[in-house]
């Protein structure tokens, strides 16, 4: 199951986009609907709220009087914490029931208004932001919902700002234009990324890689991409292992293949093997392989890669004290600190890519030739950076 988090500021049109996703076959779990379900008449939470805040939070029919509950619960931090202590577990458990009910669904979308504010994004394979500038959302609230400007501004200010949401989410869906434009955007996203992602995930199949070439750093957000991926991996693996951004995309200002390289530091390869099924569930299937250290020397590791066609990732599982892990970290730090070596490496990459493209026939052949052609340079760097590995 591909788990998608969907969010957006008040007035952005999340419901419009969620309905479009449902039309394309996704199953929707709506946090607002669940929040109403758990306080409906006959639900245990309703009685608990009356016990905690008094019978005045119920109206004459026995239903929840929301303004009365707000007046009782938001008088101070202690009462607010008591409300949250009752509401959050009930909503969490009901949400889990909805997800379990749709366990066979290929794609499930969780519409959560406060997805970013509640730091929930690491729990999903992909996070979508319905993106509309705050000033446009403000006017929509005034025009379509009849809010006065002061109330609308206050509601917008209590939520995360636009930049915070964009940094937290993987994909932004511009909903500031016409419905037809948004429909076209969603349809393209479904066809090019969401549906292939779901199929790859179900089959534990790695996504196809982009063609060999370098991307200029100003045209990418590698630091942001890596941070989001690492947060998901840490959440999904119980915060148990150190995870590091390595490779060219970890070096500010360096052109690179558009692939995020990460290494997970494990105590031993048995731990790596045990972790493999969970990583596959998170979208990174893998297998036991070896790092080629040069001079016919190898070192065991596990290599995993992305099922998401929209973000290429190399995920290396290495023991914390391995030569591969130490070299990857030292080489990254050298390139960050040494502008001359950074330029030398960039020129090497440009030359080797040109050679690989001139001699290769398929993308796979060119990528393999490119990687192999850099081995002498890496051996030179390993002698310099990890000399004890030659003892």
Neighbours of 10 (CB within 10 A): 18
254, HSE (Cβ side, Cα atoms, 13 Å): 30
Distance of CA 49 to the CA centre of its chain: 35
- Cα–Cα distance between 285 and 267 in angstroms, integer? 20
3-state secondary structure 188-230: HHHHHHHHHHHHHHHHCCCCCCCCCCCECHHHCCHHHHHHHHH
Indicate the burial class of 91 (C-beta count within 10 angstroms; 0-12, 13-18, 19 or more). Answer: middle
CA-based radius of gyration for the chain: 25
Q: Where are the alpha helices (DSSP H) in the chain?
A: 14-23, 31-37, 44-53, 66-73, 77-101, 134-144, 149-157, 162-168, 179-189, 195-203, 222-236, 269-281, 323-337, 339-359, 363-373, 375-385
Beta-bridge partner residues of 2:
107
SS3 174: strand
> Does 15 appear as a known binding residue?
yes
> Does 11 appear as a known binding residue?
yes
* Residues 10/175, Cβ–Cβ less than 8 Å: no
301, HSE (Cβ side, Cα atoms, 13 Å): 23
Binding-site residues, in ranges, read: 11-16
Binding-site residues for ATP, in ranges, read: 11-16
């Amino acid at each position: 199951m591909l788990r998608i988090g969907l969010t957006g500021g008040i007035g952005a049109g999340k419901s419009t986009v969620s309905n479009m996703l449902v039309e394309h076959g996704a199953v929707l779990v709506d946090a607002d609907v669940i929040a109403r379900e758990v306080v409906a008449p006959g639900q245990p939470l309703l009685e608990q709220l009356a016990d905690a805040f008094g019978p005045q939070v119920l109206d004459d029919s026995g239903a929840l009087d929301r303004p009365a509950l707000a007046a009782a619960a938001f008088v101070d931090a202690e009462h607010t914490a008591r409300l949250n202590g009752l509401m959050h577990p009930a909503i969490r458990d009901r949400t889990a029931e909805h997800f379990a009910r749709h366990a066979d669904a290929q794609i499930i979308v969780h519409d959560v208004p406060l997805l970013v504010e509640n730091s929930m994004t690491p729990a999903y394979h992909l996070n979508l932001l319905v993106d509309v500038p705050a000033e446009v959302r403000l006017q929509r609230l005034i025009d379509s919902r009849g809010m006065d400007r002061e109330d609308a501004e206050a509601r917008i200010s209590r939520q995360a700002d636009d930049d915070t949401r964009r940094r937290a989410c993987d994909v932004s869906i511009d909903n500031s234009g016409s419905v037809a434009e948004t429909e076209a955007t969603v349809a393209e996203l479904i066809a090019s990324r969401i549906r292939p992602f779901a199929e790859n995930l179900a089959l534990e199949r790695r996504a196809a890689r982009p063609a060999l070439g370098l991307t200029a750093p100003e045209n990418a957000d590698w630091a942001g991409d890596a941070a989001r991926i690492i947060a998901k991996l840490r959440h999904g693996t119980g915060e148990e292992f150190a995870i590091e951004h390595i490779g060219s995309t970890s070096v500010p200002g360096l052109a690179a293949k558009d692939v995020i390289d990460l290494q997970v530091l494990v105590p031993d390869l048995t731990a790596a093997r045990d972790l493999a099924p969970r990583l596959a569930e998170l979208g990174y299937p893998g297998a036991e392989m070896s790092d080629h250290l040069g001079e016919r020397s190898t070192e065991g590791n596990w290599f995993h890669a992305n099922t998401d066609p929209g973000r290429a990732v190399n995920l290396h599982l290495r023991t914390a004290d391995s030569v591969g892990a130490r070299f990857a970290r030292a080489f990254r730090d050298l390139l960050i600190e040494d502008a001359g070596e950074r330029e030398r490496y960039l020129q090497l990459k440009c030359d080797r890519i040109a050679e690989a493209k001139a001699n290769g026939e398929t993308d796979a052949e060119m990528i393999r030739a490119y990687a192999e052609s850099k081995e002498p340079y890496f051996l030179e760097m390993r002698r310099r950076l990890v000399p004890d590995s030659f003892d």
